[in-house]
Amino acid sequence: MTQPVTETLTEAAKPSIRVADLVALAKPRITLMVVITTAGGLWLAHRAAGAKLTAATVLCTLIGTACIVAGANALNMVLERDIDGRMERTKRRPLPTRRMVPKVALWFGVGMSSIAVPVLLFGVNSLTAFLAVLANVLYVLAYTPLKQRSHHALLVGAIPGAIPPLLGWTAGTNSVSAAGLVLFGVLFFWQVPHFLAITLFRKGEYARAGLVVAPNVVGDPIVRHHIVRWTLALVATSLLFIPLGVAHTGYMICALVLGAAFVAAGLVGLRKGKGTTKWARGVFATSMFYLVLIFAALMIDP
């Protein structure tokens, strides 16, 4: 009677392929956010540049983007499975808990990335496919390993993070153009204060996991000043849509108000005696509201 029980327990302990774990590999919330920003780029290309978008082009752009991002996220989890196991917010992922073997996650990541290429290449255009592959490679092979070596990894990671809205723009226009570069710039500059705020209230966790972040290298005061400087650069970049004729008075007012609020949130942190954790969480929350509202203002601007 003992032997069957032992066999049953052994079998139950073996990793298996579960749909929920495959979905977790894709980091669905991040993937959804990326797809939304890509859709914003598509809409802006249609509204501001007069791009003639077919249902097939839109569908292939969004599916291809979702696949390339899901693939990059899965490959990132493969490379960082040991690090994830040392962090509270990631230790329950499929690989650290050994619910899934790395080989399955690797093939999932490669497979999703591979699916995206022909979808974007033949369903959209070669420029969009190239930019998507570039984002994938930079995220997986440059940003991910660099996180354990330098706090400047943030700037490297901001490049693939800023490409998705540009994918939408190039899908509609088949060109990068000035407006597309400003779209890229807004997302690039936004990511820096956003993620610097995260590193401030999670610096201890990152240190224990072996990840190098700015507060643990240059100190909190310098990071606080960097947040303000990068936010100012973000606000200036967001206003470039106006001279390009992509946005008008309504958007300008929104960009100035939202930008002032974001900068003000950062400036509060420069006061002496201001607690780091609570303030940093406030900056993080402000950055999220800013991104949603600035994109909404850009999309609905007449």
- Specify the pLDDT at position 184: 97
Q: How far is CA 6 from CA 9, 100, 133, 160, in A?
A: 5, 21, 47, 48
Domain containing residue 234: 176-302
> Tell me, what's the pLDDT at 14?
60
Residue 4, in any domain of the structure: no
Of 145, 174, 203, the one marking the end of a domain is 174
| CATH number for position 23 | 1.10.357.140
What pLDDT does residue 15 have?
Answer: 67
Question: Which of 136, 152, 174 finishes a domain?
Answer: 174
Q: Which of 13-17, 194-198, 205-209, 228-232 has the lowest mean pLDDT?
A: 13-17
Task: Specify whether 140 is located in the same domain as 200.
Answer: no
Say if residue 8's pLDDT is above 50.
Answer: no
**Are 253 and 278 in a shared domain?**
yes
Residue 5 has pLDDT above 90, yes or no: no
Q: Angle CA(212)–CA(215)–CA(217) in degrees, nearest 5?
A: 60
The helix-helix angle for 28-49 and 276-300 (nearest 10°) equals 40
Domain count, the chain: 2
Tell me whether residue 209 is exposed, middle or buried, using C-beta atoms within 10 angstroms of its C-beta: 0 to 12, 13 to 18, 19 or more. buried
Give per-residue pLDDT as tens, 138-190. 999 999 999 999 999 999 999 999 999 999 999 999 999 999 999 999 999 99
For residues 215 and 198, give the distance between their C-alpha atoms in angstroms, rounded to a whole number.
Answer: 10
| Residue 7 pLDDT class (50, 70, 90 cuts) | very low
Angle between helical axes of 276-300 and 249-268 (0-180°, round to 10)? 180
pLDDT at 146: 97
Residues 180 and 170 in one domain: no
Would the pLDDT of 85 be above 50?
yes
For the whole model, what pTM was predicted?
0.91
b or e along 7-17 (b: 16 or more beta carbons within 10 Å of the residue's beta carbon)?
eeeeeeeebee
Share of residues in the chain with pLDDT > 70 (%): 95
Q: Which of 65, 104, 114 is nearest to 81 (CA)?
A: 104
Same domain, 190 and 287: yes
| Residue 234: closest CA among 283, 282, 186 | 186
Same domain for 124 and 40: yes
